[in-house]
Structure 1
Amino acid sequence: MAEAALRRGKRLPESAEPGTGMVELDGDLVVRQVNGAFAQLFGTTPDDVIGTPFPDWFLPAVRQTLRRELAELAAGRRDGFDERLACPGPFFADVTARPLPDGGLVLLVRPAEPAPVRLGDLDAQILEGLAAGEPTVRIAMRLYLSRQAVDYRIGAMLRKLEAPSRAALVSKAYACGVLCPSQWPPRVAPHAREN
C-alpha cells in the first residue's frame, strides 16, 4: 500500500496531445514516471507500469532491438530515437525518445494507424510455412504449386513488407503483428487476412 502511494507521486502530467503517452526511464530502461495516457494505451494503470522494464510493454519481436537502441541513446551513442513499433493488442505506436542529462530517457508514445498488411489465403499459407522453417519445395508440394510460383509469391511479400530477405520477412511479419507471436505452428493473425 505504501508502495502504491509512492508510485502515485511519480506520475507525469497528461500531454497536450490527447492520447499521447509520456514515459521517463532510468539508465536501465526501467519506467520511473509515466502519465495515464501511456497506461491506457496498454490497458493498465500507471501504478502497474512504474518499476517495469519499458521494452516489455512491446511485442517480443521488437524488444531486443528496442533495448539495444534505447541503451545506445541513454549511453550517448545516438542523438534520438523515432520508430513505429508493434504493440500487443495489436496496435502500433510512434515512439520518440530523447536523452536526459542524468542518463535517463524521456519518451512520447503516440498511437499510430499504419497501412494494414493484408495477405490472401495463399500468401498467408506460404508465410506460415516460411515461419515454421519449411523449405520452398515442401511448401510448393503442400499447396500444389510449383517452386517458382512459391518463390514469386515470397518475392511479392518481400516487396510488400519491405524486407531484404526471407528471414527478415518472417521477423517483420511478427513485428507488424501479421503473425501471431504466441502460436506454434505459426499462424497469420485474422486481422491480417484478406476476406
Structure 2
Amino acid sequence: MDLGRTDGVVWRNRALMLFDRVSVPVAVCDVHGRVLLANPAMAAECGTTPGRLRGQDVLELFRPQEAGQVERIAEALRLRHRSRYQVSVRWQVSGGAERYGELTADPVSDNVDATPALLVMLRTHGECAPPAPEPARVTPVEGRVLALLAGGATTAGAARELGLSKDGVTYHLRRLSARWNTATRTELIARAYALGVLSPGVWPPEARTAEQG
C-alpha cells in the first residue's frame, strides 16, 4: 500500500470538507476565470448551488467596476506574477437586490512554472440602494396644470395661464384623477409629488417629466 498516496487522499478530503464549511465565499478558478470549484457560501451569493457554478466565468457573475483592474491582472498573470489581485465588483443576489464588494484572487500552483489556478474570495461591502423610480409620465400640459394647482391656482386661474378654457383644465384633471385613482384635488397633488411628477422642495412648483410617449 502506498502510504504517501493514502495520506494525500485523506488530506485532500479534509481540505475539501474545510473548503465547504468556510463561511467566506470562496472559489477556485482557472487562469481565465472559469469556476472549477465553489463552496456553498459562494454559490449562495449567486442564488444557486456549487455544482451549477462550475464552468461559469467569475467576472460575469461578479461584474467588475473598473475595466482597467481586469486588464492589469490579465497582464500580470500572463507574465506569471504571483501577487494578490483585487477587483471591485457588483452582483445581484436572489430577490433582485444588488450588492457591491471586492474579489481577491491569489494565484496558486504546485510549482512556479505551472500555470496557476486562482483562489478567489469575495468580500461584501454593502448593498446598493435601489434605483429611484422614474417619474410617472404626463404630458407637458398635464404637468403645467398640476404645477399651477399645487401653487394655489384655481381652475379659472390655471385656464388663463395656459390659454385654455375652464372645461379644458377640468378635462385634464379628470383624466389624471382617473389614471391615479384620486378623489380630490389635494389627493391628486399629493400623488403627483409621490410619483415624482412635481419636483420636491421647489417653489413655485414645477413639473419634472417629459412628454408622454
TM-score for both structures, normalised by structure 1? 0.45
TM-score for both structures, normalised by structure 2? 0.42
- The structure having more radius of gyration, on CA atoms, is 2
